[in-house]
Amino acid sequence: YDTGAIMNWGNAIINNSVVTAGSNGTAVYVSSGADAGKDSKTVLNEVTLNAKYTVYSTKYATQDTTTQDIDIVGGTLNGSISAMTSKGNDVSLTGNVETKADYLSTVLSFASEGANVILTNDLTNKKITVPEGVTLTIPEDVTFTVSASRQLIVNGSLNVEGTLDAAAYVTETKTYSGTLANAIKLIGDGHTVTLLKDSTETTAIQPY
């Protein structure tokens, strides 16, 4: 966690580049040190980041006297994002950003309004939430499968060019479920459930 392929303690702009770290490393490591007033700013424009952690953000100061702002604008994230947001870090992700299935949940959690997060490979068996103002795109030849025990909650927007495999959709909660039973069980009264494919479920369903 202490080093990266690129380490920034000040102000940096990286454009149209590929940054690759070791298999367990960090592509861009950001800090502002322990001294008050030494803020850092990192802007990544259309950059491909290849590492276990594409961005790791931290601070050594014991009080919130410095900030580390990281703006990711477009590009490809082949790794997770790690940031201690409670200690002066602010990671903003906008534009058309591609990410693998393993990192989708984390990338979406840092996405800002207007971001379009593009899934680059098939995904199944994850609970995913799309924040307000953010678009999740499932491109052609990619399948997002909502498994039996999981959900896809779309508070933002969903752009399906490939395949979304889900059993049911609850209109009021904007939730896709892997089974009709789970869709009904988890919502309570007063909601509308739309069946998205033929169901062979035979167990009794009791709404909570």
Q: Please tell me the predicted confidence (pLDDT) of residue 1.
A: 46
Closest CA to 103 of 28, 139, 52: 52
- What H or E segment, with its residue span, contains residue 109? helix 104-110
Whether the Cβ atoms of residue 29 and residue 19 lie closer than 8 Å to each other: no
Per-residue pLDDT of 122-169, as tens digits, reads: 999 788 999 999 999 999 999 999 998 889 999 999 999 999 999 999
Tokens 């966690």 locate to 1
**What totals of helices (H) and strands (E) does the chain contain, helices first?**
2, 19
| DSSP letters spanning 28-65 | EEE---SSTT--EEEEEES-EEEEEEEEEE----SSS-
Tokens 């802007």 belong to: 43
Strand pairing report for 175-177 and 168-170: antiparallel
- Which residues does the chain have with pLDDT short of 50? 1
- pTM for the model stands at 0.89
What's the rounded Cα separation, in Å, for the pair 202 and 61?
A: 58
